[in-house]
Structure 1
Amino acid sequence: MKKQFLKAGIVGLLFSSLLTVNAWSQSDPTGKRRVSDTYAITNATIFAAPGQQGIKGTVLFQDGVILGIGANLSLPKEAQVIPGDSLFIYPGFIDGAGLMGVTKPKDPERPKDFVSSNPPDELAGITPWRSAMDQFSITGSQVEDWRKSGFTISQILPDGGMLPGKATLMILGKEGNVNVLKENTAIAANFSGSRGMYPATVVGVMAKFRDVYQNTSLALDHSKLFASTAGVKRPEMTLTQSGMAAAVQGQIPVIFKAGSDLEVRRAIALQKELGFKLILTGLENYENVIGLIESSGTPVLIKLAIPDDKAVKNQKTEDVTEATKAQYERVKKAYENAIKQASLLEKAGIPFGFTTADAKAEDAMKAIRTLIENGLSEKAAMAALTTNPASILGISRMAGTIEKGKMANFVISSDSLFKEDAQIKHVVADGYIFDYEVKKKSTNGNGKTEGETPTITGVWEYTSETPAGSSGGELVISKDGSGYAGTITYDDPSGGGKVSAPIKNVALNGKTLTLQFDVNAEGMTLTVDISGEVNGTAMEGTMAVAQFGSFPLTAKLSSPNLTF
């Protein structure tokens, strides 16, 4: 009878209700829920704004809002302290124009009376009434890829034709949240026409843009006259004109994709002719129009990518003709000119941001470092990632720097951000913490990367599945000389509330973590064995008591207690 009582009590203790952890101490490295309402990242090197010296100090934030920054902050007792020793904190990056998480809408069917010279606007890619929100999913893989590269806010553009719709400002935060900072922030425009119908050419696109813009202006004037004058025929604005109205009225800009210097000239010419607010995005070849950009005062977003240098690296040095050598030199010069363009923008005093559209997240930091190596200052590079796009998008009051009252959006790296070996370990977006596995250079000279020894120090939130149901608890592991020590918490078998026990025999063999702890109940001491395989911030394994068998266990390593 006593053994049956112990079995029920201990199994219930260990696997049904080890500990109900307070909500403020829960964490999830995937960012699916906040670690706590209030956090303090302490003893980190903080770069609050581009060009500022790093300071050793604390960043305090609550509910996604920064409460304070400095070396001697008074921390509220409820704050979860996150040691940030040896880490570097920067403002979260801002994407001035992106397609991450955006899908292209389905093409409508052509009507039976379709005329290619005068197609319906929707067929011709003229849909300014559409919203990027309707095409966006935060669960898209590109969103996670760009967040992993440090981006916390993106102005997402709709995908489509010459006037695909309106942009939306999104924060790359928790899945399931609304995450919208502002809708209808700009009208997206492209110089690409429609296949097999008007406008199929660049000249046709420009003519059609003028037509849409001017007809919208006339429709707005008619609406004003109707509202103030008796006897005026009721205006009938089309869906296209209603969608275009905000840009014609100067309430939002037109964000024109203009990759080449010729397209830059065309977009600025349209702006001067019609008078709308203009932002240029997707710039790739713009060296020859930097003076025009400067004189027009047009905000610009350059593509966060550099040309492929394979053609330069693969050039032969022997047994080639003079003509081939001349061709090689032209290719090399074109490449060198392309990667120094950003520095020319800086020298001209033109503040610019980046667009992630048509770029690769995994190559982003390499591209920025290449630009720095070719004349762009680190201050200008950081400004292009933070304060410049914040200004261009009109969100400087909430983002771009680390200041009291702004959003808790941070990039946390293992070293000074623009160093070659620096890696982004954590990203905080909207106060949610996302953890990323850090790689280290291989020492065998094969050019590949190898994972570091798994990190096990910190607070683990674990769950075990038993016939009695699902239960969870908290395991704290810290470094102790050349080994490890720590505690595990659980409910007192006698009903006295929550208690803790020291863990023992902690060992990490490759990716396998093993440890034990003792539970005293009814005068008996039972040893509980935990064994699991650690992959990044996750662990899968078993929790076992010799007398009662083993049960599946999963765990997550939480940020607040030294995943950092």
Structure 2
Amino acid sequence: MTESTMVFTNATVLPIDGDRIDNGVVIVRDGKIDAVGGADTPIPAGASVQDLGGKWIVPGLIDAHVHLGTSEEGEGWAGNDTNELTDPVTSHVRALDAINPADIGFSDAIAAGVLAVNVNPGSGNPIGGQTVAIKCAGRTVDEMAMRTPSGVKSALGENPKRVYGEQKKTPSTRLGTAAVIRGAFVDALNYEAKLANASEDKPVDRDLKLEALLKVLKREIPWRQHCHRADDIATAMRIADEFGYELVLDHGTEAHLLADIVAEKGIPVIIGPLIVSRSKVEVRNRSVANPGKLDKAGVTIAITTDHPVVPIGNLIHQAALSVKEGLDRDAAMRALTINPATIMGVADRIGSLTAGKDADFCVWSGDPLDLYSRVEVAYIEGSEIYRHED
């Protein structure tokens, strides 16, 4: 990237790592945030200066649980690569290998201010595969990727017991699903022991499934646990305590019922999707009031669309509705920026307008939590990637 400096003045700046700045200034140099401050911030000589007339500068929004690029919109079965439903344990498969950057969902994301996502395999298997943190623009997924793997997806509850119960295979029950997960971790520990005792005379064949699980057990990457019901959330915490890995609760529809325990253990919850019908038993307590309940209990939350379950463009609207039902508005913005960035392990690069981070941000016409506001321009690493034209 060629050396360049851009300055945005007279902006309403939402840095996330600090208070809102009215009549603020943002300086971008060589694709990075160089400085953020008030109207008295010195402007470098020779910089390109834009007066925003009070419009808002907001870090790129982040959805930490989507299927963008793996469940392509308008492509039917040919574009659906979300679940490898041929084995209950598929920890070796990678979302990275199925993402199509040409999925129209990426364009929708950028137009709605969502500049980064975590793409997960689906929830049909007890252990579904490896997740990847990516930016929403690029010709190849390798160019878009920030962290791979960024976790391993696992599922409790209705989905795996339905998938394998219909095949007359284990697991067909909740207890069977938990047993499959525990057994896989024991296999990984046994594999680790074999590796420790390996020699030239006694080599150990590589096992991609168990290698991925060892990354979890060594706390190199988090365990991304799909769970809705309170009893499944309790099972998720029980197994995490047994094996000592870093747990993230995905969906957490009934996490508010155990909020004190979740908060005490320091487990983040990626909550959502929030504006869907109660399509199955385990989401009957779905409510846009739940994010506020978790936040008040001291739980770190991020908000997800689970795209394409809720179209990615409605991420900000889910947050706005949660604010309407009691979520603190600053907490709502953290749940769309720095919290998901932290969960994904990329907070050193994105999630706030902090000097040294990537210049990934949007210019909004007004308050992003206002339904009538829209993204006017989007930047990734200081390069304009979108401009709204009427």
Smaller-chain TM-score bracket: 0.7 to 0.9
Contact 2:9–2:25 (Cα < 8 Å) also in 1: yes
Q: Provide the rounded CA distance (Å) in 2 between the counterparts of 1:304 and 1:48.
A: 26
Query: Over residues 261-286 of structure 1, what are the superposed CA-to-partner deviations in whole Å (9 max), with x where a residue is unaligned?
Result: 22211211111122221111122232
- Determine which of 85, 88, 91 is the counterpart of 2:53: 85
Which residue is equivalent to 2:244? 275
Aligned to 2:152: 187
Q: Give matches, 1:395-410, under 5 Å.
A: 395-410=346-361
1-structure distance, mates of 2:111, 2:175:
40
> Is 1:38 the counterpart of 2:10 in the alignment?
no
State TM-score, norm by structure 2: 0.85
- Counterpart in the other structure of 2:77: none
Residue matched to 1:244: 213
Structure 1 partner of 2:35? 68
Which of residues 399, 408, 418 is equivalent to 2:369? 418
Give the whole-Å Cα distance in 2 for the aligned partners of 1:105 and 1:412.
34
Instruction: Between 135-144 and 68-77, report the one with greater CA deviation.
Output: 68-77
Q: Does 1:296 align with 2:265?
A: yes
Q: Give the C-alpha shift of residue 304 in structure 1.
A: 4.3
1:189-228 aligned at under 5 Å gives the runs 189-191=154-156, 192-193=159-160, 194=164, 195-196=166-167, 197-226=169-198
Aligned to 1:328: none
Distance 1:124 1:83 in 2: 56
Q: CA deviation at 1:307?
A: 4.6
Which residue matches 1:367?
318
| One-letter identity of the residue aligned with 1:39 | M
Residues 29-58 of structure 1, C-alpha deviations (whole Å, 9 max, x = no match): xxxxxxx94322222111111661323132
Are the counterparts in 1 of residues 274 and 287 from structure 2 also a CA contact under 8 Å? no
| Correspondent of 1:98 among 66, 87, 96 | 66
Q: Deviations over 1:467-501 (max 9, x none)?
A: xxxxxxxxxxxxxxxxxxxxxxxxxxxxxxxxxxx
Shift of 1:364: 2.7
User: d(CA) in 1 for partners of 2:357 and 2:17?
Assistant: 16
- Residue type of the partner of 1:259? H
Larger Rg: 1
Residue 308 of structure 1 and its aligned partner are, at CA, apart by 4.8
Gaps of 5+ in 2: 72-79, 279-283
Aligned residue for 2:115, secondary structure, equals: strand
> Would you say 1:264 and 2:228 are equivalent positions?
no
Give the superposed CA RMSD.
2.7
List runs of 5+ in structure 1 lacking aligned partners.
Answer: 1-22, 25-35, 109-121, 310-333, 438-535, 538-564
Structure number with higher strand proportion: 1
Q: Following the alignment from structure 2 to structure 1, what is the Cα–Cα distance between the partners of residues 18 and 292?
A: 16
* CA shift for structure 1 position 81: 2.7
| Structure 2 CA distance for partners of 1:106 and 1:371, relative to 1, 3 Å | closer
Measured after TM superposition, the shift of residue 107 of structure 1 is 8.2
Alpha-carbon distance between aligned partners in 2 of 1:387 and 1:84, rounded to the nearest angstrom:
24
- Percentage of pairs with the same residue: 20
TM-aligned CA deviation for residue 92 of structure 1: 1.3
Return the letter of the residue paired with 2:133: L
Amino acid at match of 1:248: L
AA aligned opposite 2:184: V
2:4, 2:232 → 1: CA distance?
Answer: 48
Q: Is 1:351 the equivalent of 2:300?
A: yes
Kept in 2, the 8 Å contact 1:124–1:198? The answer is no
- Change in Cα spacing, 1:186 to 1:46, as seen in structure 2 (3 Å) is same
Structure with more helix by fraction? 2
Amino acid in structure 1 at the alignment position of 2:69 = G
TM-score by length of structure 1 reads 0.60
Deviation at 1:76, TM superposition (A): 3.9
Q: Specify the alignment match of 2:290 in structure 1.
A: 341
Given residue 150 of structure 2, which amino acid in structure 1 is its aligned partner?
T
Q: How many residues align?
A: 364
Give the match for residue 75 of structure 2. none
SS at match of 2:289: helix
Q: CA deviation at 1:204?
A: 1.6
